[in-house]
Amino acid sequence: MKKVIIGTRGSDLALWQANYTKDRLAEIGIEAELKIIKTQGDKILNLRLDKLEGKGFFTKELEEELLNGSIDLAVHSHKDLPTVNPTGLIIAAVPEREDPSELLLILKDCVDIKQKLSLKKGAMVGTSSNRRKAQLLSLRPDLNIDDLRGNVPTRIQKLRDENYDAIVLAKAGVNRLNLDLSEFHVEVIDTTEVVPAPAQGALAIQIRENDTELFNELQKIHNKATAQEIEVERKVLNLFEGGCHMPLGCYCKQEDGQFEVWTSKANDDEDFPDRLFLREASTEGLAEKIVAKFASERKKPNKVFISREVGENSYFRRALAKHHIEIDDRSLIRTTPIVHVLDDFFLKNADWIVFSSRNSVEYFFQLNPVLPKKVKYAVVGRGSEDSLRKVGHLADFVGEGGDILEVAEELAKVVDGQTVVFPRAQDSLLTMQTYLTESTKIIDLPIYETVLLDEVEETEAEILVFTSPSNVNAYFAENLLIPGQKVIAIGNSTGKKFDEMGVSYELPYSPDEIGLAEAVFGIEIK
């Protein structure tokens, strides 16, 4: 096959992407050379992207050169492409995707690990993305967000020059450029916390539609799994008729034969985003189902009950308040300490302290434990992670997802052969402990107990959220479900109670306030 000409932008990241493609082509016996092309997005650096007219600010000129035959192939960041190809062009191949998470780079004197995302209160954060702004403000409404343009090294230099306290970058770009970030505090923001842009971290190799020989060759570097995931995300974007400045995040991944999709959508960069999580066996009709769930005319609950108190500024309360949904928030149990003095002898050889709830974090540190410097912390869910931050510690392991069995299996691999302390409730089910190997030493530490309230008033809320097995026991000691009421169980242990009762329930992906909000908006109200 003849030598092919690869069209690319001239930024460091674009050149990395083009050279990566060139190397992949060489692996399948195709020689290539690069041609650098300037795009509108490269030339206009003094305006926010959402203020520019039209779409394809970083792709239009490359596509024009493809159509006129001066290049044979264009390499794009997939998320920059409009969702519809120009007539005569196709995406011929999508290589394996890089990590689509976000990175938060923070000046070290602006770090406060007691705050979510480790950012000091009122920090100035640089990003030109409406999607990132809306989601960051939903997590931290105290932040100040300012526009940030330029290629990756330019953006980092602006942080270095202290124009910002922190900036947000795609982890994929930083990984590809292999940049030294040791002068900053680096916080990885998980895809379930800030949902990436559709196709973030993926490349698109675009060619002329009639170039069948090149198309056939490119199938050798095409990753079908990545392409399937990207197709869902970009179809959601297309159905919402959104461009790259729309405050829309959509991320799809395949897990155990299922397609898991997170979607975040706001009306503008200051609007509180709505969130949705769906898990389906097939991609057929999946994007349409997601978009239908966001329809404004879709009926929403008038009231949601949750079996714990919810703060006035909490994510869950603000997510529901946007749609004028009333919250009936009350714990049906009370907790009391059963240990008042801690024998530090049990902790001196600890390698890990594992917390499965916010209560276990709070009661443990009230005992003023003396811990070895080497000790690491593991938590189940972001709620426990946030509680650990408040006492000045960062989690070394965060068990994501509502399936405690999967979290337990993952933790078992991490702590294998070490000494692990489990501060817990006296009536805990010990699920995590049963998954640890025989070579792992377990120190079991019951430090508080739960007591059911004597009288629990019935709720007429359409959706009932239960946050622990004890709360389930307390509510159903004297109450029954009203016909039509829907149930959300925060995790497997709570769900097991409903299995025993023969009651169907929804299980959020994450056992935290974001996961609960996603679950509420995923439920159909008749």
* Residues catalogued as catalytic: 80
Stated as kind and residue range, the H or E segment containing 138 is: helix 130-139
Here the tokens at position 464 are 């009932």
The Cα 469–Cα 338 span in angstroms is 20
**DSSP codes of every residue in 435-458:** TS-TTSEEEEEEEEEEEE-S----
Strands 333-337 and 441-452: antiparallel
Here the tokens at position 213 are 């020989």
Strands 166-170 and 102-107: antiparallel
Cβ pair 391, 402 in contact under 8 A = no
**DSSP codes of every residue in 36-95:** E---HHHH--SS-GGGSSSS-TTTHHHHHHHHTTS-SEEEEEGGGS-SSPPTTEEEEE-P
The Cα 331–Cα 359 span in angstroms is 13
The Cα 467–Cα 384 span in angstroms is 13
The Cα 406–Cα 396 span in angstroms is 17
Write the secondary structure of 339-373 as one string of H (helix), E (strand) and C (coil).
Answer: CCCCCHHHCCCCCEEEECCHHHHHHHHHCCCCCCC
Q: Determine the Cα angle at 448 with ends 445 and 454, to 5°.
A: 150
Cβ pair 104, 119 in contact under 8 A = yes
Residue type, 308: R
Cβ pair 277, 261 in contact under 8 A = yes
Strand partners, 33: 5
